[in-house]
Amino acid sequence: MQKLAPNDLLGLEQYARQRDAFRAQAIAHKRARSIHLGDHLTLLFEDRATVQYQVQEMLRIERIFEPEAIAEELAAYNPLIPDGSNLKATLLIEYADIEERRQALARLRDVENRIELVVEGHAPIIAIADEDLPRSNEDKTAAVHFLRFELSSAQVAAWRSGAAVRVRILHPHCSAEAILDAAQRASLGADLA
């Protein structure tokens, strides 16, 4: 999947005029790319469209328009775009209550290393977490992690031929599994080119 370049982005004024439509389209696109694992964990599988939306929003919020600063944002977010043999996801650990979130992040330490993608008939693919920098310490995990799932050519072929696909967490304090539905399989399968 092609990485984003500066000419793929809208200027601040142009984005402001188109933001409502752009945002609605991004939210609809993310629906088939979001996998809920229990009540508090979500995997958002990233692609070029989700990353473009995130970059546009960062440029808007930070009022970034200088070419060097735009290049920095692209350098930070482009690694989230899949490379053709992998899927990339943002893991979100979501608790509305601050104290409950604090306790959960301590209890879920190392959860980012216990997430698997399973293509039926093949060995589980264990997520590679936070390649850019560690986000957990001895006391707690972070609320956001970046994951990569590397698929073999056999796993990609099985995916394309209709094998069931599921995502699961195998953590002592959190066990959950989700089977991808047809829309999710199609949307994520498009990343495997």
pLDDT one-digit tens code per residue, 55-98: 999 999 999 999 999 999 999 999 999 999 999 999 999 999 99
Alpha-carbon radius of gyration of the chain = 17
Are 38 and 7 within one domain? no
Amino acid identity of residue 145, one-letter, is: H
**Average pLDDT for residues 8-35, to the nearest whole number?**
95
Domain around 127: 34-46+83-193
Work out how many domains the chain is built from and give that number.
2
Q: Taking a C-beta distance cutoff of 8 angstroms, is the pair 35, 178 a contact?
A: yes
Structure tokens at 2: 């092609």
Clarify whether residues 114 and 40 are in a common domain.
yes
What contacts 59, CB < 8 A, 6 or more positions away? 9, 12, 15, 65, 70, 73
* pTM (whole model) above 0.85: yes
Same domain as 186, residue 139: yes
**Would you call 44 helix, strand, or coil by DSSP?**
strand
Q: Are residues 184 and 166 in the same domain?
A: yes
Residues 96 and 176 reside in one and the same domain:
yes
> Is there a single domain that holds both residue 153 and residue 176?
yes
With 90 as the cut, is the pLDDT of residue 112 above it? yes
Mean of per-residue pLDDT scores for the chain: 95
Portion of the chain with pLDDT greater than 70, in percent: 100
